[in-house]
Amino acid sequence: MLKILVVFGTRPEAIKMAPLVRELETRREEIDCKVAVTAQHREMLDQVLSLFGITPAHDLDIMRQGQNLFDITCRALSGLQQVLQMEAPDLVLVHGDTTTTFVAALASFYRQIPVGHVEAGLRTRDKFSPFPEEINRHLTGVLADIHFAPTPTARQNLLDEGLPAGNIFVTGNTVIDALLATARADYRFNDPVLDSVGFDKRILLVTTHRRENLGAPMRGIYRALREIVDDYRDVEVIFPVHKNPAVRRVVEEELGGLDRVRLIEPLDYEPFVNLIGRSYLVLSDSGGLQEEAPSLGKPVLVLRNTTERPEAVCAGTALLAGTTREAVSFETRRLLDDKEFYSRMANAVNPYGDGRASKRIVQAIRYKYGLSAERPDVFCL
């Protein structure tokens, strides 16, 4: 039996690891798969665990209100020491670039357990943007033994850093596996707020949470949104607000009590992705949304100055808007006013995956561990 421990802690990691956990579970005869969560997020993680029916074998429950990077790092590291000692897995799988990701890779290294990194090789080459994610994924890449790169660009980034080609597999992004299993044309919301939304209006779906955007950049974004709802009567903003109190404070100050701005709790993944499909435009500093919206044919204004996901920008479906009031307002108006510009951006493209990423990752693991002689197929754009 190959013993695999999957470790994650936040909402996006859970969404993107859930299809992989499911796929690993189809191989029960040869793979013993367990999940350990740090619970760096609590409610937002639990939403995903319950949707995908995942029961962790270990839950470190580390989240504290207003936690800082030192808190998360220390609590996760010492908690994982015990979990790794108890489970002694043959392989630990981590995802992406959160503090949980880096710490789980570090803890595994300390115990000399091999690490597989899912969503490996994303880079901006800017140490502080996104912060701390750019360095988390670098460090995780250094510690990992097998790298599951979602796209050829990500693979190239890893090759440029001198990693051996034989340890890198181009798989597509598992978020597309999750998305395709969840988005449905006939989906009906079962939520009093969403049921009352007039979908005859043009919906701007907004999320913000990046640490480097806290404070002035977020104010710039929200002021642009105020201007837009003032000037366009047919526009409505739906904004599921991240649980971070530092985000909530500024959102409430800038956007609280406005007509046609709905500030709501984070949505479960199922209504959320189906809401993307009913929106006119997505404005977000999220990583995952830059991957999901293009698949659903929705333009994304990326509320950041850098992106590690150039594929959607190259495909013309995402635009790096920055965070100033002027820039966000200008680009949003362009997409509201210029029908031709909008249609060019609203092309459904799938540069991030085809829904088979988890299968390829499991194939690659089986190949690496001698359970199969067949090399996994490669995801091509």
User: Residues in the site for ligand UDP, rule: CB under 6 A?
Assistant: 11-12, 15, 175, 207, 209, 240, 266-267, 269, 272-273, 286-289, 292
Q: Which is nearer to ligand UDP, 11 or 123 (CB)?
A: 11
Q: How far is the CB of 370 from ligand UD1 (least distance, A)?
A: 34
Binding ligand UD1 (rule: CB under 6 A), the pick from 58, 75, 137, 209 is 209
User: Least distance (Å) from ligand UD1 to the CB of residue 92?
Assistant: 17
Residue 257: partners with Cβ closer than 8 Å, 6 or more residues away: none
Q: Which is nearer to ligand UD1, 18 or 362 (CB)?
A: 18
Q: Specify whether 253 is catalytic.
A: no
- In the bound state with ligand UDP, the residue whose beta carbon lies nearer, of 132 and 240, is 240
91-95/300-302 β-pairing: unpaired
Q: Are 122 and 137 in contact (CB under 8 A)?
A: yes
Which residues, 10 to 29, sit near ligand UD1 by CB under 6 A? 10-12
Q: Does 284 bind ligand UD1 (CB under 6 A)?
A: no
Asked if residue 294 has a cis previous peptide bond (ω within 30° of 0), the answer is no
β-pairing, 2-8 vs 31-37, is parallel
The entry of ligand UDP, ligand UD1, none that residue 208 binds, CB within 5 to 8 Å by partner kind:
none
DSSP letter assigned to residue 377: P
Catalytic residue (one of 58, 75, 210, 242): 242
34: tokens are 């367990």
Q: Find the part of the chain contacting ligand UD1 (CB under 6 A) among 73-81, 94-102, 181-189, 221-229.
A: 94-102
Cis bond upstream, residue 299 (ω within 30): no
**Quick check: 189 and 196 in contact, CB under 8 A?**
no
95 catalytically annotated: no
- Which residue of 38, 99, 157, 363 would you call a contact of ligand UD1, by CB under 6 A? 99
97 belongs to the catalytic site: yes
| Residue 70 touches ligand UD1, criterion: CB under 6 A | no
Q: Which two tokens stand for residue 123?
A: 């880079």
Tell me the two tokens of residue 79: 């908690």
- Coil, strand, or helix at residue 287? coil
Question: Which residue's Cβ has the minimum distance to ligand UDP?
Answer: 286
Only one of the segments 40-48, 75-83, 175-183, 339-347 lies at the binding site for ligand UD1 (rule: CB under 6 A); that segment is 40-48
Shortest distance (Å) from residue 125 CB to ligand UD1: 17
Q: Is 199 helix (H, G, I), strand (E, B) or coil?
A: coil
66's contact among ligand UD1, ligand UDP, none, with CB below 5 to 8 A by partner kind, is: ligand UD1
- Single-letter residue type at 260: R
Rounded to whole angstroms, the Cα distance separating 90 from 369 reads 10
State yes or no: is 242 an active-site residue: yes
Q: Which is nearer to ligand UD1, 207 or 317 (CB)?
A: 207
Kindly tell me the burial class for residue 186, based on how many C-beta atoms sit within 10 Å of its own C-beta (0-12, 13-18, 19 or more): exposed
Nearer to ligand UDP, 276 or 345 (CB): 276
Provide the β-strand partners of residue 320: 302
Could you give the CA distance from residue 179 to residue 269 in angstroms, rounded to a whole number?
A: 9
The burial class, CB within 10 Å (0-12 / 13-18 / 19+), for 66 is exposed
Q: Does 245 bind ligand UD1 (CB under 6 A)?
A: yes
Catalytic residue among 211, 248, 325, 333: 211
Catalytic residues: 97, 119, 133, 209, 211, 242
List residues near ligand UD1 by CB under 6 A: 10-12, 40-44, 63, 65-67, 69, 72, 97-99, 132-133, 209, 211, 243-245
